[in-house]
A and B are shown apart, each in its own frame.
Chain A
Amino acid sequence: MDHNALAMEMRDLREKVDGITDTAIAATDGLLIAADTAASIDPESLAAIAAAGLGLARRAAQATGRGTLRRTVTYGSQGCAAFYAVGDTALMVVLGDEGVDLDRLHRATQPALRRIGSILSATDPAVATEGV
């Protein structure tokens, strides 16, 4: 896996869309893979919450016949948290403030999700297991 490419994707997304404050990528079981978060956010907890929330939303969509889950967005008075599935193995969390344009966020996220999915699934023999 190309760590540098993954980190660049996360940073580019934050710089491309006004209002994105933090991003994180985790495995579907909630294990944190990468975090671009402020010091006030605990990325490990965020990854675990995202995995649980996305799993619950997926089951809810299934149980109520809503088709394939596209995304989950939690709205608060001071911003939102969007959870996206990255293929079958991972997920991405994007946190935004009140100003974030959600339509633009979703548009910008789709190609990024595809690229992140292929980065995560790439098999590189020279993979190191620690940071960039």
Chain B
Amino acid sequence: MSVIRDSVSTSAPDPESVYTRASPDSLGRIGYDLLLNALAECGREEFTGALRAAGSPGGTFHLRRGLVVGAESPGAPGPEALLLRSRRISGEEWAELVREAGGARWPGAELIRHGYAGAAQLRVVCMMALRDAVFAVVAGRVDACERDPRAEPLAPVPVGEGPIRLLQDANRKLAALAALPHPVRPNRERPSPGSAPVAVSDGRLTPVQQELLDQADGRRTARDLAFRTGRGVYTVTVEVARMLGAGLLECAEGAAPLPVVRVPEEGLRQRRPPAPPPPPPPPYVDPAVVTALAAVLASDAQALPRRASPPRAPAPALPRREPGASGITESLAPEKRGTSWKGFFRMRNGTAK
């Protein structure tokens, strides 16, 4: 495990400075020094804002006066995913809370008010998500770090933590993972169910193991399984490593199978843009009308008996509903209101007219 240094350059950095350097290290991390230096600088300068770490999976650290109050990464489920995927709250209920919170991305107060989580529970979930995101960033590749003073954290924790301390925690986790007999990386191996029928049939699997066994299909990494099951990526990665060791899961040798490709026998057809609407037909004038008009003019306004028009074939159309045929209008006659549809208005240039 590499020693965390607190040595950074003494020159005053540009707030929008971009660090661009990447190199592998002893724990398989790429660009870790880059992240360490950038975060240490932020901590020393008591920076407030966000530090974006570009890479795979990369992530964003949110700082207040040099302390990390939030971290997000595509490599680790955030508090929202943890709550939704663990079925603590449904998608519909979440949408309702967001509406109640005036469209806020994180309806923290509403979650507590409606009893979905206690205040302390929610703080724990947010802190776990923060640490998990830091672990995901450290375990991956960091290509560059860039500050963004304007970015706001999604679900900040009330008391921030020192960035170096957080990195040390992530490094300890990485070292613990590397020490396991079957170490895995959060976004590398794609395990599938193995051949350990004894443990499965005896029901000796823990709920987490059973869930991972159900979801592992040879396509999903530990990171994917963490999102799928609503658990922390570190927890899932450790469990996957243990299950690989126990033979409950196994990783296929060589490259993953390629997708299936099928080509239509008739080949691909080019999309045709919608045909322009046909021009309106010229106004139809019945020849009988023309004849009648001519006769009228010729006879100097002498009255003519009206000729019955020839019967036309009924047009093949859908049956038309007769308004009021069901009688519902009479039985549910609306009360007369003071206002009418005339109250409807259209916004023009931002004002009602």
Contact = CB atoms under 8 A, between A and B. Distances in A.
Instruction: Sort chain B's interface into a size bin.
Output: 35 or more
A97 B78 contact: no
B84 interface: yes
Interface in A19-34: 19, 21, 23, 27-29, 31-34
Contact of A99 (B220, B227, B262, B265): B227
Interface stretch (B17-25, B234-242, B252-260): B252-260
B84 A78 contact: yes
B260 A99 contact: no
Interface residues of A, number: 43
Given A38-B217, A77-B94, A88 B260 contact: no
Nearest to A34: B261
A88 B270 contact: yes
A27 B224 contact: no
B173 interface: no
Contacts of A39: 217
Interface in A65-82: 76-78
A21 B264 contact: no
A78 B85 contact: yes
A35 B268 contact: no
A132 B258 contact: yes
A88 B224 CA distance: 33
Given A18-B187, A19-B74, A77-B91, A11 B256 contact: yes
Main SS of the interface on chain B? loop
Contact of B74 (A1, A88, A101, A131): A101
A7 B261 contact: yes
Interface in A117-132: 120, 127, 129-132
A33 B262 contact: yes
A27 B57 CA distance: 32
B262 A32 contact: yes
Contacts of B217: 38-39
Given A18-B56, A18-B57, A18-B187, A131 B269 contact: no
B340 to A, nearest CB: 30
A93 interface: no
A4 B263 CA distance: 12
A77 B95 contact: yes
Contacts of A89: 268-271
Contacts of B260: 7, 34-35, 131-132
Given A28-B269, A90-B268, A99-B227, A8 B258 contact: yes
Contact of A1 (B56, B187, B256, B263): B263
B261 A3 contact: yes
B81 interface: yes
A81 to B, nearest CB: 15
Given A18-B56, A27-B268, A59-B274, A33 B263 contact: yes
Contacts of A76: 91
Nearest to B186: A18
Contact of A129 (B78, B91, B220, B265): B265
- Most chain A beta-carbon contacts within 10 A, residue among B57, B76, B77, B263: B263
A94 interface: no
Shortest beta-carbon contacts, A-B, top 10: A77-B91, A36-B259, A7-B258, A34-B261, A18-B57, A28-B271, A89-B268, A3-B261, A98-B81, A18-B74
14 contacts: A10-B259, A19-B74, A27-B269, A31-B264, A33-B262, A76-B91, A77-B91, A77-B95, A89-B269, A97-B81, A98-B77, A101-B74, A120-B268, A132-B261
Interface of B: 56-58, 73-78, 80-81, 84-85, 91, 94-95, 187, 217, 219-220, 223-224, 227-228, 256, 258-265, 268-271, 274
